[in-house]
Amino acid sequence: MKQLLKYEFRKTRSVKIIVFLVAMIFEVLFLIGLPFKSLEKIGMLGMGGLVFTTVFGIFMIGIIGISNLYTDLNTKQGYMLFMTPRNGYQVIGAKVLENGLSLLLGGIFFGILGSIDLMLVAVRTGDFIKLLNQTLHSMGMVEISPLQIFWSIAVVLLFWLSVVTMAFFAVTLQAAILNGKRFGGLISIMIFIGMNILVSIVFSQINRLIPMGTNDYLNSSIWMIESTAVTVALYFLTGWIVEKKLSI
């Protein structure tokens, strides 16, 4: 399992390095513009670039993992993967674990970077969170706290991991039915969309049972539990398909 995990990390390393370097470029722009009023536009460009890089980087971690699985299951590139003495659960487990760890490390990295930048802005403006809450209040939106920000990030990362796992299942099911056939990618996308619709309906029905006015943290905790349950269930189901239908 350790070797499989290292193999998966190596396959996604170049994309992560590119995201990191782009983030550092925008961070430098932000730091250049922060202390000087005359360079404020450069600082804002850097901050906007960092937000974009964070969203894009987290998104790409999942997309690259999905693309690698599709290639492994539908081309000769993944042949050696199934020649190793590993079962289907270990193969899929390494991919899910790599994605989960990458999302966690990416969230920690961008979370720490964002926290440092927010503190620098707070020093520059007086109180950034207070200023942000005043802006939100003027727009009729609720106030936020640093804890809510980090909690929301955790919810988003877990939800995105569950979406990636749905894509893993869709790709694997397509490979088991029409391995290497024409329009395989399109079929995977259709299965994935169907899975998302089904899961969204189930989530919606469950969330209707939650009383109105429930604490925000409890609501988000339920979302986290639902996302984790989907991830675990689809991991085992995908591993079973690989083991029974695709392993050599």
Q: How far apart are CA 172 and CA 120, in angstroms?
A: 46
**DSSP track, 75-107:** SGGGTGGGGSS--HHHHHHHHHHHHHHHHHHHH
Q: How far apart are CA 93 and CA 5, in angstroms?
A: 9
Q: How far apart are CA 175 and CA 169, in angstroms?
A: 10
At which residue do the structure tokens 């202390």 appear? 35
Look at residue 48 in the predicted model and tell me its pLDDT: 86
Percent over 70 (pLDDT), the chain: 79
**207 vs 200, higher pLDDT:** 200
Which residue, 128, 177, 164, 123, is CA-closest to 149?
128
Q: What angle do CA 156, 158, 161 make, to 5 degrees?
A: 110
Residue 111, pLDDT > 80, answer yes
Compute the mean pLDDT over every residue in the chain, rounded to the nearest whole number.
80
Look at residue 4 in the predicted model and tell me its pLDDT: 79
pTM: 0.81
Residue 213, pLDDT > 80, answer no
Q: Which residues of 83-112 are buried (b: 16+ CB within 10 A; e: fewer)?
A: eeebebbbbbbbbbbbbbebbeebbebbbe
- pLDDT (average), residues 186-195: 86
Look at residue 236 in the predicted model and tell me its pLDDT: 93
Q: How far apart are CA 226 and CA 76, in angstroms?
A: 36
Task: Band the pLDDT of 47: cuts 50, 70, 90.
Answer: confident
CB 190 within 8 A of CB 198: no
Q: Which residues of 208-237 are buried (b: 16+ CB within 10 A; e: fewer)?
A: eeeeeeeeeeeebebbbebbeebbeebbeb
Which residue, 39, 72, 91, is CA-closest to 175?
72
Which residue, 38, 25, 95, 108, is CA-closest to 67?
95
